[in-house]
Structure formats: C-alpha cells, structure tokens
Amino acid sequence: MPTQPSNISRQQQVRRVLARQRPDRIVYAPNCWQWFAHHLNHGLLPPELAHCRTQLDLIKHLGLDVFSRNVYCDQQHCWFGGLAEEVWDGVEAREEVRIEGRDRVITRTYRTRRGTLTERQRYVFADSTLVQEIFTLDDVPDPLGTLEELLRARRWRFLPERYAQEQARVGDDGLVVAGELHSPLKALHFLAGAVNATYLIADDEARVRELLALHEAAQLDLARQMAAAGVPAMMTMDNLDAAFHTPAYVEKFSASFYEKASRIAHEHGSTFFIHACGRQRANLKFIDSLGVDGLEGVAFPPLGDTQLDEAMQLTSDRFIITGGISAMETEKFQSADEVRRYVEDLFRRLRPYAHRFMLAASCNTSIRTPWKALQWFRDAWREFAVG
C-alpha cells in the first residue's frame, strides 16, 4: 500500500500534524545525525550511500520525511544551533580549535571584568560525539557574580537568510525546525554542569532565579525573532529528563519561559517544542498545561518511563509527540521480521493519535545500528503507515 499520495507532499504531511490534522499516513521523520556523521567520517557508508554527503541526503535517499533541528547543525562543533549567533556586550568571546590525534578540541574564552573564563569541549572522533571537559563556571571564586555578568552581556541574533537556505535544501520533503533555544535551567546546566548547578540553586535559590530571568528575557527575544521570520516550528534543546529537570525545578526556573515562548510562537502561527530524552512521566501534564506544542524524542522503557500510547493518554489532544525508535530496537533486532512486528504493534497502538504523532528516533540513532536495520524500519513504515 503506498505511503504517499502523489498530490500530497511530505512537507504537507508534516504540516498537517503541526495543525493537529490527520495526515494521509503516519509521518516518519528520523534523526540520523550522529549515525550518518560516524559512518561518513569513518568510511563505513555502504556503496549505495556513496552519493550522500549529509544527513539530509540520507533521509531523501530513504524516501522519508524531514522534521529536523539538526539537518543544518555542525555535528563536530556544537550539540545544536547554527541559525543564530551570540552577541556580546562588554565581554570578549573567542574560540580556538585544535586537533589532538583525531579528536577536535574546542576552547572558548570569555574575557570579563572578573577575569578570563574558559570552556572546553572535545569531539571524540572514535565515538562521533561531543563531550564537555571544562564548564565555564568551573573553579570560579564568585560563580553567581560571574553568571550575572555573562547573562547581562549575552544576546542572540537570528539569521533568517540562513534558515531560508536550509529550508530551500529540504524543499517539499519536510520542515527545518529552528532548534536554537535553551531554557533558563538548561543555561545554568551548560555553564556550570548539572552537579554544580544543583549546588548553586541550593545555596541561593532566590538569586539564581533572579539571574536566570536575564537569560529568559534574551531567549524570548530570540523566539520573537524566529517567529517574526516565519519559522513553522522552533525548539528549546533542554533534554527534558526528570533526573535533572525535576517538576519542582521546571516550575521554578523554566515554566515561565516555556509558557511565554509558546505564546509568542502561537501569535505568529508557529509551534514550540522541547527536546526530551529519558524520563518524562512526571512532567508531561504540567508541560502540556503551559501551552507547549510537543516533545521531541520521547523515550520509552527501558530508556524512559512511559510508553508512547500512555504519554498520549496523559496529555491533551493538542500535544504532539515524536519518537518510537530507540537504540534498544535498532541495535538488538536481527531480522526484518522482528522490525516488522514491532512497527505493526507500535502503529496499532498509536494510529488513533496519528494527528499528533511522528515516528522518530527517541533522541538519536546509535552509531552501532546496522544499515540494514534502517532499511527494515523504512520498509515496515511503508507497509503499515496507511490504515
């Protein structure tokens, strides 16, 4: 049975879900960012993918949909971003990149009135992943004073022409998501690390909330810029796992941002999503109540704590969820028949929610996934997407 009527483009199918209208078939928008980069850079791409130079080429080769915030992102330089640039006032920011073996080490320095701060990340070539080695606020004598200076000095400028170029590359195959945002709580995580962020909150919660309001204002300004540029979907890259984003933390530090950013998006005909991995059950209803349009990459057991159909039942009929495929499936399934049975059962449970569901990776596609597994999932989707 065909998955794509000839008169309905892939982009239109995605837009139907964003409008909570039932698409002609289930949308399948994979996230193969790390998988593709690893196989390309390590010379592991199969011959039939020799023509592919980007993740977008791979998605188009498979004949799948695009609803992605990383088709434009430099995988060796940052976890997300590329459509906006930081703007500093009173802080001099510099970046240095050097090669150590086959790794890529990125050192960022910030010259402030309190001295020079350093952040270091490493792109580990063997694993095709970016890791944090030094946080900006590590070993700083007055971390909250330094945080205030950084947050007062930093703004963002959206690059609408860059967004237009990337959407033109995607064309009728889907939509580019502007994944340029991060919440106040995630900002503290990025600058201090999860452990030290928790200590800072415990030591002086009131001041931390006051300072993070500066970040919220700057990010809401960026959301307004993106919405005014006509992006159909924006995303905050928070990795909304309840292990760090506890309900209490979300309510105190990020709820205001989520609610206001959602309102800005809706006023301009856009949608607002949160990137989510890990455990979501504790936050689902509250996040839904804030007007957020949906979560990207909801994980299910054993990586998460709620099945996708349960997540649908816990949220309103306007809340969109993407997910359904994790490393547990792509690494362990050994045959097309296993994948076929899995997808058939998944679609049976989620078909009533096809107007607010997209089949996708629950965070990413493992670099250990065999190429044939990606083909098996594509073939099973083709078989069961319409019904």
Give me the residue label for tokens 């200590």.
199
Counted domains in the chain: 1
* Concatenated DSSP letters of 187-225: HHHHHH-HHHHHHHHHH-HHHHHHHHHHHHHHHHHHHHH
Tokens of 349: 């449970």
Residue 103 belongs to a domain: no
Give me the residues paired with residue 348 across strands: none
Per-state percent for the chain, helix, strand, coil, to nearest 5: 45, 20, 35
Residue-level pLDDT at 3: 54
Q: Is residue 108 part of a domain?
A: no
- Let me know if residue 18 belongs to a domain: yes
User: What residue numbers bound the domain in which 288 lies?
Assistant: 10-86+155-384
| Strand-pair category, 115-124 with 103-112 | antiparallel
- Give the C-alpha separation, 34 to 345, whole Å: 27
The whole-model pTM stands at: 0.96
| Other CB atoms within 10 Å distance of the CB of residue 273 | 28
Crossing angle of helices 194-203 and 143-153, rounded to 10°? 110
Cα 111 from Cα 217, distance rounded (Å): 23
| Contact between 32 and 61 (Cβ < 8 Å) | no
Looking at residue 327, the DSSP 8-state letter turns out to be H
Cβ burial of 268 (10 Å; 0-12, 13-18, 19+) is middle
Q: Produce one character per residue of 22-34: b if its CB has 16 or more CB atoms within 10 Å, e if not.
A: ebbbbbbbbbbbb
Distance CA 56, CA 50 (A): 14
Residue 379 lies in a domain: yes
The pLDDT score that the predictor gives to residue 248 is 97
175 strand-pairing partners: 67
What CATH number should be reported for the domain holding residue 233?
3.20.20.210
Separation of alpha carbons 184 and 129, rounded Å: 24
- Does any domain span residue 5? no
- Write down the residue that tokens 């971390």 correspond to: 143
pLDDT at 1: 41
Is position 26 within any domain?
A: yes
Does residue 100 fall inside a structural domain?
no
- Give the number of other CB atoms < 10 A from CB of residue 42: 13
Q: Is 62 part of any domain?
A: yes
pLDDT per residue, tens digit, the chain (387 aa), is: 445 455 899 999 999 999 999 999 999 999 999 999 999 999 999 999 999 999 999 999 999 999 999 999 998 999 999 999 999 999 999 999 999 999 999 999 999 999 999 999 999 999 999 999 999 999 999 999 999 999 999 999 999 999 999 999 999 999 999 999 999 999 999 999 999 999 999 999 999 999 999 999 999 999 999 999 999 999 999 999 999 999 999 999 999 999 999 999 999 999 999 999 889 999 999 999 999 999 999 999 999 999 999 999 999 999 999 999 999 999 999 999 999 999 999 999 999 999 999 999 988 999 999 999 999 999 999 999 998
Close Cβ partners of 283 (under 8 Å, ≥ 6 residues apart): 240, 242, 245, 247, 250
Note the pLDDT of residue 6: 52
